[in-house]
Structure formats: structure tokens, C-alpha cells
Structure 1
Amino acid sequence: MRRFQFPTLLSAFLTLLNDRLSESIFLPLLPLLLKDFISSGTTLGLLSGTYALSQFTVAPLIGALSDRFGRKPVITLCVMGSVLGMGLFATTLSLPWQQIWPGAAAAGLPVAFLFVARIIDGASGGTAATATAVLADITTPENRARAFGLIGVAFGLGFALGPGLGGLLGDINQSFPAWAATGFALINLIVVLELLPETHSLNARKQLPRKRELNPITLLRRVFSRPDVRRLSIAFFGFFMTFNGFTNVLSLYLINNFNWTGGMLGAAFALVGVIAMVVQGGLIGPLVKRFGELRLTLFGLALLMVGCLLIPFATPITSIPVVYTAISLLAVGTGLVTPCLRTLVSRRLGQDGQGAALGGLQGLQSLGTFLGASAAGFSYDKLGPTSPFWFGGMMLVGVALLVAGGLPKRAQVQQG
């Protein structure tokens, strides 16, 4: 296996990076991309959340297929889906719809194609779980943590590069970010086809589980059936619903109120990725040893509340310093909350049911992302542009109360 390790690691790394880039490169740009077709916070929220909902629906099936038929064919099909979805998205943005059919935008045809593209790409997004399984296949338990470090590096790098690259390319031409993402997915596909060996041996293959085991709702039921982690799981869901809600409409808010460009948006979101990567990659370990997961989670939530509520106070003159201060607080906050809240749940589980419960948390994250983005877009349209940020601040208070009440007093003392 050693002589295949570098090509395998490279294939897994590019697959993980592609998974993150395909989502993050559009994060600050969707309002600008949609302006020729429709200007609606609700549509923006649904389009943003469609990717996560598709992932939530298909992820259990993709994992089961990789256990049954091997990692390479499943990753290959998923990356092919990413190429197809990105290609359709880029083509839709590039077509001269006014010349092809002047009434196409009014009929909603381009927007429908964009939804189909994001559904295809999201349904193909099980690559992260399968690439993680590849890393587990080729490493021993004592070396697995080091190999899994690739996951954090790839995700952090993808979130740092994606928005910045998307903003720069989007200022040149609105379809360029989509074509760049399509090109990267195509490179990923070639590397997988040429370099990735099959890492899941025939004698380790498993039969496909029963249909109900592939139902993503089943994973969520298992999480909520555990009274020891129920409140923390609700807090985890509420956190991702809230955070992905107001960040989804942030670009629309900055464009409509302060005329921010794609480059400005990309730089702001790239800063979030860099700060979160530094916090999770270098600072979280020493901070946990010094303060404990519970205190860091609550402190991170406090930073998120301040950052969220700071945004509505920006004016055309102060928008840059206020928004950059706010997103810096948001980045540090989410860099603290995400790993610490996962750890709190994991600690409560002990050694029993870790895999199923933590898999259920991933499902909660995807479902929360979809619902949060959709609700924030609707609120933006119906209740005013600043409403998602005010509601977000209030919901974060609820999340903090759930976290504080999700551990027994003895555990809280130990965490402190």
C-alpha cells in the first residue's frame, strides 16, 4: 500500500478541496449571478440551500455504495456529477438568453436550470465522506489523525480560496467563477481516474443495508433518541441554521445597501475562511486545554451574537470597517463553536454510538443549512433587509441557553 500512498493522498486531497470549492466559490456571488434573472432573497436562499439539502438526502446512500462496490467507482461517479453540475451552472450563466428566447427569464427557465445544476452538484457531494473513507483505508489507527488533518486543510483552503477567487473572476465576467470550478472538477476527475487505486478490499465489502437505513431521517431519529445529547444536538442544529441563514443573505444586503462589488465580497468571505482556518488549525488545541470546550463554545456564541448584531448598524460611510469587524468576530466565533460543540456531543456519548450519532450531526448540519438559508431569504423579502441579523442574534441566545443546559452541573464544573 505504501507505494500507492502519495497518489492516493493527492486524489483524496483534491477531492476534498473540490467539494469545498464547488460550494464556497459561489458563496458571495449568488446575488450578482442572479441579478439578470431574478432579485429575490427567497430564491437566493432556496438556491443556496438546495446544495445542502441534496447532500443531506443522498449522503447515506453514497456511503453505503462505497462500502459495497468500492471507493474508486463511487468517487469517480460523484466527481463526474460535480463536473456535470458545475458545467450546467456555467453554461446557464453564459448563454445569451435574451437572444435565444426573450421571455426565458420571465418564464423562470434560467433559474430552473441553476436549481437543477445545484441539485446535481449537491447530490454528488458525498465525495467528502468517501474520500475520508479512503484515508481511513490506507492508514493505521495510530496514524489516522495525521491523515485526517488533510480534511481540515482542504476544507480551510477551499473556503479561503473559493470566495476570493470567485470575487476576482466575477468582477471580470459573471460566468468565469463557474467555469473555473468546472475546470477544477475536471482536473479532479482526471486525477481520480489516473492515480486513485481501489483502497477498499473485496473481503471488506458489505451488503447494502435495508432501505430504511438509507433514509437520512433515520440518522436524525437516532440522534434525538439519545436523551444525553438531545439538547446539544438541537443546539448544533440551531447554530448551523442560524449561522448559514444570516451569512446567506449577507452578500445581498451588502450589494443592495452599500453597492459592494464581487471583489469586495470575495475578499470579505475569504477573510472568514483564513481566520477560521487559523483558529481551528492552530489555536483550538491550546485554547481547549486552557478553558475547556463549554466555555469556548459559549464565548464563541457570544462573539457570533455581537458580529451578527453589528451588521445592521453599518452605514454607507462605515460599511467597510463595521462589516470587516463583524465578519472577523463571526469567523473567530464559528472557528470556536464548530469543533467544540462537536466535541461536547462526542464526550457525552462515551464510546457508545459515536459513528451513528456524529453522522447524524452531519445530517443536522446540512438540514440546518437548507432551512436557515431559506428562512433568512424569506425574512429578507418579507420583513426587511436587517431582519435576518436581528433574528439571528436572538436565535444564538437560544442556542447558548441550550448548550449551557445541555450538560449536567457536574460536567459543567469539569468543563470549566
Structure 2
Amino acid sequence: MSLLRPLVDLQRPRIPTLLSAFLTLLNDRLSESIVFPLLPFLLAQFAPNGRTLGLLAGSYALSQFLVTPLIGALSDRYGRRPVIAICVGGSVVGLGLFALTLSLPWPEASLWPLILLFSARVIDGISGGTAATASAVLADISSPEQRARTFGLIGVAFGLGFILGPFLGGQLAQIAVPLPLWVATGFACLNLGVVLTLLPETHPVEQRQNLPKRRDLNPFRRIGQVLINPSVGRLCGAFFLFFLAFNGFTAILVLYFKQRFDWGPELATTAFLVVGVVATVVQGGLIGPLVQRFGEWKLTLFGLGLVIAGCLLIPAVGAADRAPAIFCSVGILALGTGLVTPSLRSLVSRRLSSEGQGTALGSLQALQSLGSFLGPPIAGISYDLLGPTSPFVLAASLLVIVIALVARSPLTKNLQLST
């Protein structure tokens, strides 16, 4: 009985824990979704070219990819709370530096603004490991059977961020271009205050792990290890390919709408609003009952089928009644994504012991970041060289491979592997 008491005590303050994790996830998504759509406007006075834009956008995902395994290992060694607090503090610094750089007057042709902007994005990307640690917090306070439902909060936070970020950014930028960055910085400060005052430690001392060797923190080595793991390797490979495909074709989605249908910002924003709303409803309210009824494995496969359908329906839409058809297609796409993301995370998490949740979920975050870094340029090259519809076909082909990998990895009742 005494051995169970620390776990009971740790899980007692559940509402403050959920609130802290939710705000951390929302801050992670909101800060990026505010900045990313405005990057061309924010860079206009310094370097208005696609090369600089692409490098600045990619620096965030690349930085996140390189450091996320270390952040996950640190949370397994020292606990979730201090790691989240330091990372959120880093987000405050990164966003604040970005906003300050845009607010100051600079001499013409000065390189300092670009140096500071890239530094800010790198700092913010490094701090983006909060998503993995917040996910580990949710895993700590949930039983294996409840993890898919609890992980639905990740989708809710990301969905709200996906809705609020571009909307707030577009509205506030009409007042002053740097204002959205200052608002994002203020929200990060709020997040830091909540973490410091409300978040309890959820990782018991007796389950702490020693830090791995330096070579084991190499993200490529860590990814290689998890991919060759016979219990979770296929699922982790599927996780990477899913985000490679998804982030690839969604990166060119607005460009496709603009060139194919001559859409302006209003219609394009409405399409993304549909995605955010549907994904939020699914992951926030429906995923729990659906998992209880069908299980994570079946939901993942069904969701992947929906994503493929939505991906192929978009380029099939003709000129007549294109807006309703597009909104329906992206709704199907969002429904599938809302099912796949928490279910696939849960399939991996349920194969792991509680001691290795932070490291393993950190590896998943690294795979997601690598997919987010590689997907957009691959889709962009395909768009330019092979035609506007080619990224959708490429994404659908990758998702078929994802289905094959998941189909070969059903969740057996007693399968749980320590990492």
C-alpha cells in the first residue's frame, strides 16, 4: 500500500495538472501559428525573398528536432515540472527577442535584424520540446486505457492554436506588424506563471532514470534505435511518415487554393478554420468514447483512410461549387487527422513502461519535427517540378505505406515494453 501512495498523491491535483499541460500545449501551438503565417510580412523590410523565408521557417523545426530527445531525457531524470518551466521560459525569451527585433529601427542593409530573428527562432524551436514533456505529464496521470482520451487534449490545444493563431495574427497585424508577437510573448508569460504556481511534479522519484550517454542523445541515433525496436519501430516509422506527408501537402495548400481557384485570405482562412474546429471536436470530445468502442488500432487505420480520401478529393474539385466541396474535403481530412494523431501516440505509449514515457514521447516529437522540417520543401519541389496536384498524390502514396505499417502492428492485450 505504501508503494502506491506516492502515485496517488501525485495524481490527486488532476485539474491544475491538466490546466498546466493544456496551456503549455496551447502556447506551443499558438506561438508558432501566430508567427508562421506572418513571416513573409515580418521579413519584408529585411529580406523579402523565398530563400530567407524558407530557412527561417525551417530553423524552428530543425532546432526542435535536434534538442527534443535531450529534453525528454531530462524530464525522465529530473522530473517534468522543472523542464517545462525552463522551456516555457525559453519560449518567452525567443518570442520576446523576435518581437523586439521587429519593433526597433534598423539601418538599411544591416545584417543584425536577420541574425537576431534567426536566433529568436532557434531559441523558440529549442523551447518547443515542451510538447513532448507536457505529453509525458498527461501519460503520468493516465492509466494505459485512458491515455488516448487524455492525449485528445493535445489535439484540442493544437486545434485551438490552429484556429486562434492565424486569426489573431491577421487582426493584430492590421494595427501594427509586431503586435501579434508581443501578444504571443504575453501568453507565454501567462503560461510560465501557471506552470510555476499550479503544476505539481507528476514523475515519481523512484521511477527517475539516469541520463543517457552523450552519443545516445544524438537525435538521429535515438530515432534509429526506436525505429529498429521490434515492438514500436513500425509505429514510429508510421508516425514519421504521417507527419512528413501531412505537413508537406498542407504547407502548399494555401498556394494551391490561390493559384487554382484564385482564393484570397478570407476563403483560405475559412478552410483552415474548418480543419481546426473538426479536429478540436474529435480529439476533445469524441476520441474517448470511440477508443472504448473500437480501440486505437482500428481508429488509426480508419482515420488514415479518411486522410487519404480528403487528400485526393481536394485536387479533384472542379471550378463549380468549389468552396463547399473544398470545405467538405478538408473536413474529412481533419476528421481523419483528429482520429490518427492521439490514437497513434497511444499505440506507442501503451507499449512502454512508465519509466520511459518522457524519452519515448520525446523521440516521437523528434520524428514529428523531422517530418515538419522535411515535408514542406519536398512538397514544394514536387509542386514546382511535377505540377500542383503532385504533392497530394505523393502524400496519399506515403499514407498508404503508413497504413501498411500500422496494420502490421496491432495492440495485443498484454503488450507493454520497457524502454
**TM-score bin (small chain):** 0.7 to 0.9
Deviations 1:26-67 (A, max 9, x none): 454445555664353x65554444323222221222233345
CA distance in 2, matches of 1:142, 1:164: 36
CA distance in 2, matches of 1:92, 1:265: 29
Q: Which letter does structure 2 place at the counterpart of 1:306?
A: A
| Alignment CA distance shift 1:377-1:113 (3 Å) | farther
> What residue number does 2:48 align with?
38
3-state DSSP of counterpart to 1:38: coil
- Are 2:227 and 1:248 equivalent residues in the alignment? no
3-state DSSP of counterpart to 1:25: helix
> What residue number does 2:218 align with?
215
> What residue number does 2:374 align with?
371
| Alignment CA distance shift 1:310-1:96 (3 Å) | farther
Name which of structure 1's ranges 179-188 and 63-72 shifts more when overlaid on structure 2.
63-72
Q: Which letter does structure 1 place at the counterpart of 2:98?
A: F
CA distance in 1, matches of 2:353, 2:144: 17
Query: Is the CA contact (8 Å cut-off) linking 1:380 and 1:388 kept in structure 2?
Result: yes
User: By how many angstroms is 1:21 displaced?
Assistant: 1.2
Q: Which letter does structure 2 place at the counterpart of 1:22?
A: S
Aligned positions of 1:128-207 closer than 5 A: 128-132=131-135, 151-194=154-197, 196=199, 207=210
CA distance in 2, matches of 1:286, 1:191: 30
User: By how many angstroms is 1:119 displaced?
Assistant: 1.5
| Alignment CA distance shift 1:254-1:210 (3 Å) | same
CA distance in 2, matches of 1:141, 1:403: 23
| Alignment CA distance shift 1:38-1:315 (3 Å) | farther
CA distance in 2, matches of 1:88, 1:39: 22
CA distance in 1, matches of 2:326, 2:142: 45
CA distance in 2, matches of 1:63, 1:43: 31
Q: Which letter does structure 2 place at the counterpart of 1:305?
A: I
CA distance in 2, matches of 1:80, 1:246: 32
User: By how many angstroms is 1:328 displaced?
Assistant: 1.1
- Are 2:22 and 1:13 equivalent residues in the alignment? yes
> What residue number does 1:116 align with?
119
| Alignment CA distance shift 1:291-1:45 (3 Å) | farther
CA distance in 2, matches of 1:70, 1:354: 12
Query: Is the CA contact (8 Å cut-off) linking 1:17 and 1:157 kept in structure 2?
Result: yes
Q: Which letter does structure 2 place at the counterpart of 1:323?
A: I
Deviations 1:84-130 (A, max 9, x none): 22123334444566xx30x35xx7x6555443322211101122333
> What residue number does 1:276 align with?
279
| Alignment CA distance shift 1:311-1:45 (3 Å) | farther
CA distance in 1, matches of 2:257, 2:100: 27
Name which of structure 1's ranges 80-89 and 314-323 shifts more when overlaid on structure 2.
314-323
Name which of structure 1's ranges 294-303 and 312-321 shifts more when overlaid on structure 2.
312-321
3-state DSSP of counterpart to 2:229: coil
CA distance in 2, matches of 1:208, 1:198: 18
User: By how many angstroms is 1:241 displaced?
Assistant: 0.2
Q: Which letter does structure 2 place at the counterpart of 1:89?
A: F
User: By how many angstroms is 1:25 displaced?
Assistant: 2.7
CA distance in 2, matches of 1:15, 1:32: 27
CA RMSD of aligned residues (A): 4.0
Q: What TM-score, normalized by structure 2, do the two folds share?
A: 0.77
Query: Is the CA contact (8 Å cut-off) linking 2:155 and 2:338 kept in structure 1?
Result: no
> What residue number does 2:70 align with?
61
User: By how many angstroms is 1:365 displaced?
Assistant: 1.8
Aligned positions of 1:243-322 closer than 5 A: 243-255=246-258, 260-288=263-291, 291=294, 293-313=296-316, 318-322=321-325
> What residue number does 2:31 align with?
22
CA distance in 1, matches of 2:198, 2:342: 32
| Alignment CA distance shift 1:280-1:8 (3 Å) | closer
| Alignment CA distance shift 1:389-1:174 (3 Å) | farther
Query: Which runs of 5 or more residues in structure 1 are unaligned?
Result: 412-416
CA distance in 2, matches of 1:332, 1:399: 17
Query: Is the CA contact (8 Å cut-off) linking 1:231 and 1:403 kept in structure 2?
Result: yes
3-state DSSP of counterpart to 2:212: coil
Query: Is the CA contact (8 Å cut-off) linking 1:81 and 1:124 kept in structure 2?
Result: yes
Aligned length: 400
Deviations 1:322-347 (A, max 9, x none): 43223212101211222333445566
Query: Is the CA contact (8 Å cut-off) linking 1:67 and 1:200 kept in structure 2?
Result: yes
Q: What TM-score, normalized by structure 1, do the two folds share?
A: 0.78
Query: Is the CA contact (8 Å cut-off) linking 2:156 and 2:281 kept in structure 1?
Result: no
